[in-house]
Chains A and B, each alone.
Chain A
Amino acid sequence: MPNRYRAAKALIISISATCGLALAIYKYNTDIIAKSAHKQQDDLLSKRISVYKQQETQLFDSVFRHIALPQTVQEAESILSRVKRLRPSDRLDNNEIRRQSEKVFQKDINVESMSLLTNGGINVLSTNLSLISQYQPLENTATLIDPLISKDFSLTFLMDALSRHPSLSVVLPIRNKVDKRIGYYGLKLKPSAIYRSIRGAEGIAVLSPPETVNAVSYTSANDITEIYKPNSALPYRPMKSLAIINGFNHVNGPHLYLDHRKRPVVGAYAMVKSANMVVLVEREQRILFKREVERLRQVLLIGLLASFAFFTILIRQERSNASQGESA
Chain B
Amino acid sequence: VRYAACLASAVFALALQGCGITKIDFVAPVSSTKQELVVWWAEGYYPEETDAIQLVSKKWENLTGKKIKIEFLSENELNQRTIEILQGSPKPDLLYGYGVGDSIAPTLAYQGYLVDSSDVVRDYASDYIPGIIESVTFSNKRLNKRSIYAVPISANFLYIHYWKDLLDEANPTTASIDIPQSWGDFWGFWGSNQARLEKAGFSKTKALALPMSHAAPDTNDVFSYFLEAHGARILDQSGKLLIDEGSQRQKIINALKDYTDLYKKGWVPAHATHWSNADNNINFLSSLSLLTVNPTLSIPGSQLADSVTYEQRIKTISWPKGINNQPIKPTISVKQILIFDTGRAVDSKSFTRFLLQRSNLAQFNEGSQGRYLPVFKTILSDPFWSNPRDTHIQTAKKMLSSFRLPYQVINPAYTVVVQENIWGQAIEDICTKNVPVATAADDAIKTISKIFKEWDN
Contacts and interface: CB of A to CB of B under 8 A. Distances in A.
Our verdict on whether A and B bind, yes or no, reads: yes
B204 interface: yes
B11 A135 contact: no
Contact of A242 (B24, B205, B304): B24
Interface stretch (A193-201, A204-212, A225-233, A251-259): A251-259
A120 B11 contact: no
Contacts of A109: none
A19 B4 contact: no
A12 B8 contact: yes
A287 interface: no
B203 A90 contact: yes
B15 A24 contact: yes
A22 B412 CA distance: 73
B24 A16 contact: no
B11 A23 contact: yes
A95 interface: no
A118 B308 CA distance: 9
B28 to A, nearest CB: 14
Contacts, number: 109
A89 interface: yes
A242 B23 CA distance: 8
B311 to A, nearest CB: 10
Report whether over half of chain A's contact residues are helix, strand or loop; otherwise say mixed: mixed
Given A16-B11, A19-B15, A122 B285 contact: yes
A88 interface: yes
Interface string A105-148: 00000000000001111100000000001110100000000000
Interface string B127-160: 0000000000000000000000000000000000
Contacts of B20: 254, 256
A83 B287 contact: no
A297 interface: no
Interface in B139-185: 165-166, 169
A120 B4 CA distance: 77
B285 A135 contact: yes
Given A13-B4, A120-B302, A121-B302, A88 B15 contact: no
Nearest to B308: A83
B296 interface: no
Contacts of B169: 87
Q: What class of interface size applies to chain B in its complex with A?
A: 35 or more
Interface string A160-176: 00000000000000000
Nearest to A91: B201
B238 interface: no
Contacts of B5: 12
Contacts of A155: none
A19 B12 contact: yes
A120 B205 CA distance: 20
Interface string B1-32: 10011011001100110111110100000000
A89 B308 contact: no
Interface in A72-92: 80-85, 87-91
A16 B8 contact: yes
Contacts of A87: 166, 169, 202, 205, 287
Given A81-B308, A83-B313, A88-B202, A9 B4 contact: yes
B51 interface: no
B202 A23 contact: no
B78 to A, nearest CB: 15
Contacts of A302: none
B7 A256 contact: no
A256 B21 CA distance: 7
Interface string A245-285: 10000000110111000001000000000000000000000
B387 interface: no
Contacts of A256: 19-21
B77 to A, nearest CB: 10
A302 to B, nearest CB: 17
Contacts of B4: 9, 12-13, 16
A90 B201 contact: yes
Contacts of B305: 119-120, 181
A254 B313 CA distance: 58
A190 B131 CA distance: 54
B7 A16 contact: yes
A118 B11 contact: no
A26 interface: yes
B88 to A, nearest CB: 25
Nearest to B204: A88
A53 B139 CA distance: 61
A182 B24 CA distance: 48
Given A12-B1, A87-B166, A27 B18 contact: yes
A27 B306 contact: no
Given A5-B1, A181-B305, 6 more contacts: A87-B169, A88-B287, A91-B201, A121-B302, A133-B287, A183-B306
25 contacts: A9-B1, A12-B1, A12-B7, A19-B15, A23-B12, A23-B15, A24-B15, A27-B18, A80-B308, A84-B165, A87-B205, A91-B201, A119-B303, A119-B306, A120-B305, A120-B306, A120-B310, A121-B302, A135-B281, A135-B282, A135-B285, A181-B305, A242-B24, A257-B21, A264-B21
9 tightest CB-CB pairs across the interface, nearest first?
Answer: A23-B15, A135-B285, A119-B305, A120-B303, A91-B201, A20-B11, A16-B8, A120-B306, A12-B4
